[in-house]
Structure 1
Amino acid sequence: MSAFVTKAEEMIKSHPYFQLSASWCPDCVYANSIWNKLNVQDKVFVFDIGSLPRNEQEKWRIAFQKVVGNRNLPTIVVNGKFWGTESQLHRFEAKGTLEEELTKIGLLP
């Protein structure tokens, strides 16, 4: 097991709400805007790989693929399991159920 996989597992275990992200990724910026809008940005640990060298970004994405089954940006993990990407947030927002869904996972009271 690579050191990246081990570190990915540790980060996910340490943070009930986790997001693999990159500063250059428009979908990540959208997800972060949701956390800010709902005032839960302090509850979601965002691991931003955007400033790392490209080869290291790829190693992290491969590690998260192995750990949670997804390498997309953003990858949102709740209680150690893959929850979704920005697509999930968009779907819930379009249906008007975003706050309800985030309450179900404990992110909102």
Structure 2
Amino acid sequence: MPITYEQAKAEVEQIISSNKLVLFTASWCPDCVYVKEVLTKHDVLDKFFVWELANYEKGSDDFKTYCKVWFEQACGQQNIPLLFTDGVYFGTEHQIRSWEKNDKIEKNINKFFH
């Protein structure tokens, strides 16, 4: 039975509200790989609920499409990676790249845990 948009939205919202840190990602996405590498380098990736689009148990085409629609509505963009902290959209790889460029990565990553 195909999944509805409302079911996909409820599932994604449940993931976000049930986890302090969430990373929506895909293994084929270069920006996602970059974010996971940075978070691994700083030994914090294991603190995130990592939602891998390709491996998600409800990873049907309908579910993936609906999630992108919800991401667009909730965050203003449907491209991954997307980071959430304490149930609030935080940013994408652009935020992480900015921190690295300005040598503020360590300081800002530590804010996730305080």
Residue identity in the other structure for 2:34: Y
Unaligned runs of 5+ in 1: none
Give per-residue Cα distances to partners, 1:5-31, cap 9 Å, x unaligned: 100110001111101111110000000
Unaligned runs of 5+ in 2: none
Tell me which moved more, 50-59 or 75-84.
50-59
Runs of 4+ aligned residues of structure 1 deviating over 6 Å after TM superposition are: none
Partner of 2:49: 45
Query: Which secondary structure state, in structure 2, belongs to the residue aligned with residue 76 of structure 1?
Result: strand
Provide the C-alpha distance between the structure 2 equivalents of 1:27 and 1:82, rounded to a whole number of angstroms: 17
**Aligned residues, how many?**
107
Provide the C-alpha distance between the structure 1 equivalents of 2:22 and 2:71, rounded to a whole number of angstroms: 11
Larger Rg over CA atoms: 2
The answer to whether the 8 A contact 2:8-2:63 is kept is no
Give per-residue Cα distances to partners, 1:58-82, cap 9 Å, x unaligned: 2111123334444221010111111
| Pairing partner for 2:79 from 63, 69, 72 | 72
- 1:11 equivalent in alignment to 2:15: yes
Cα root mean square deviation, aligned: 1.8
TM-score normalised over the length of structure 1: 0.87
What percent of counterpart residues are identical? Answer: 28
The answer to whether the 8 A contact 2:16-2:84 is kept is yes
| Pairing partner for 1:34 from 38, 53, 64 | 38
Provide the C-alpha distance between the structure 1 equivalents of 2:77 and 2:24, rounded to a whole number of angstroms: 10
